Amino acid sequence: MIVTRFAPSPTGRLHVGNLRTALHNWLLARKGDEDGAGRFLLRIDDTDAERSREEYVDAIREDLAWLGLEPDGEFRQSERLDLYEAAFEKLKAAGRVYPAYETAQELELKRKIALGRGKPPIYDRAALSLTEEERAAKEAEGISPHWRFKLDHEEFIDWEDAVRGPVKFDPATLSDPVIRRADGSWLYMLPSVVDDLNMQVTDVLRGEDHVSNTAVQVQMFGALHDAGLGPDHCDIVDPFPRFGHTALLVGKEGKLSKRLGSLSCDALREQGMEPEAILSLLARLGTSQPVEPIADRQVLIDTFDLETFGRAPAKFDDAELERLNAAIVHQLDFAEVEDRLPDGIDAAGWHAIRPNLSHVGEAAEWWRLVTGPIDSCEFSEDDREYLAQAADALEWSDNPWGDLTSALKERTGRKGKALFLPLRQALTGMDHGPDMGELLPLIGEQEARARLDKAAAG
């Protein structure tokens, strides 16, 4: 059974980078449905009470629902603090966490000194060598400790990454991470591991910015397991999930971070992007599979394959999203867009204008060609005469456009552009646009005749 999770912090709107991670996890879980029921969980990482906002929690749910990536379960870290406390106590008893008293300024100074000496800024574990008296003295001064997880330097860290292949870390090259602040609040690192264990997450799929967190967390999984929080705590034999770290998303011009506001889910929605266009792009970006407008999710699920993911940064290109969007819009059935269309457009109307749209929101503009008023065009005298003949030749049938153009071809000897363009201009006020064979029946006989007459009159 596959269990994945998407774990956003509700400190802002979801953007393409988050959406891509959510999608990968959703796809993996849905692919897992082939062997039973896969589960895609939403975990709200809201331990940072100051930065977390309820409005963002709602927005995350809405965005996922809009994209059709509904979770099979939702959890909030702020409601699970007892679990973290219990895990913390076990780790404390096992000697895997220790109190530290340095202030932020002291730590910054240590960093600078290390860097100045050309050394990596790794925490020097000074707090580990404090005596009982020294600790007591700190506490007597009213300094509450923050807490660090003690990495086991004897235990080399390695895992088989689903995207990056074998990954190795020497724990001595990492700082013992702070897992709890002096005020008792939790940092990301430990709660995430406790939850992954507790929710029996089988696959942790996230961006490569988490690789060094994973190194630390691999030891945390082991430590919790050894401390009795593995199989007993939750019914699994192997406490380690599989890990996969996808290459980051970059813009054409480099980092995406500055542009994330305009690449938030709500901004894309506002720009008229279809969920299927966004998903088509994000599912395949950074893989060896071609990015194509795929409206059928099952195809995305069936073809999702972590083996096809590359290590090079995945390039997000707005123009590619636009192209996909237009292609997806051209595939949408009337029933899928009906409630977003202006009144009056029926299935035939949608079918006629659909090929001209890049976004569904443009439908109203094109529908105006049917309902009018249309722009008036300038015609030569010759063309005006021709259009008068057209008004005369217009007969209403199942195929008024076909009949009209055949009749005019015969009567006037015109062909090609000379035959079609003045008619299109007179009937729509434009040089290009929807297929006239589909459009003319929608305009209707009376209105068509009136437009031809008007154009002929000049």
> Per-residue x/- marks for ligand GLU, 18-57, CB under 6 A?
---------------------------x------------
CB of 10 to ligand GLU, least distance (A): 9
Q: Is 9 in the site for ligand GLU (CB under 6 A)?
A: yes
The two structure tokens encoding residue 210: 């988490």
Task: Considering the complex, state which of residue 148 and residue 206 has its C-beta at the smaller distance from ligand GLU.
Answer: 206
The DSSP call for residue 309 is B
Which residues have CB under 8 Å from 16's CB, separation 6+? 249, 256, 260, 263, 268, 278, 282, 316
Minimal CA–CA distance to 178: which of 105, 107, 232?
Answer: 107
Residues 160-199 close enough to bind ligand GLU by CB under 6 A: 188, 192
CB of 45 to ligand GLU, least distance (A): 4
Q: Is 203 in the site for ligand GLU (CB under 6 A)?
A: no
Q: How many residues bind ligand GLU (CB under 6 A)?
A: 8
Burial class (CB in 10 A: 0-12, 13-18, 19+), 288: exposed
CB of 131 to ligand GLU, least distance (A): 36
The two structure tokens encoding residue 291: 């990015």
Candidates 180, 206, 414, 424: give the one binding ligand GLU (CB under 6 A): 206
CB of 193 to ligand GLU, least distance (A): 9
Task: Considering the complex, state which of residue 7 and residue 295 has its C-beta at the smaller distance from ligand GLU.
Answer: 7
Q: Is 8 in the site for ligand GLU (CB under 6 A)?
A: yes
Minimal CA–CA distance to 251: which of 240, 262, 241?
Answer: 262
Q: Is 7 in the site for ligand GLU (CB under 6 A)?
A: yes
Task: Considering the complex, state which of residue 194 and residue 268 has its C-beta at the smaller distance from ligand GLU.
Answer: 194
CB of 216 to ligand GLU, least distance (A): 12
Q: Is 212 in the site for ligand GLU (CB under 6 A)?
A: no
Separation CA 425–CA 429 (nearest Å): 5
Q: Is 327 in the site for ligand GLU (CB under 6 A)?
A: no
Minimal CA–CA distance to 12: which of 53, 48, 46, 49?
Answer: 53
Residue nearest to ligand GLU according to CB distances in the complex: 45
Q: Is 264 in the site for ligand GLU (CB under 6 A)?
A: no
The DSSP call for residue 241 is P
180-218 burial, b if ≥16 CB within 10 A, otherwise e? beeeeebbbbbbbbbbbbbbebbbbbbbbebeebbbbbb
Q: Binding residues for ligand GLU, per CB under 6 A?
A: 7-9, 45, 188, 192, 206, 210
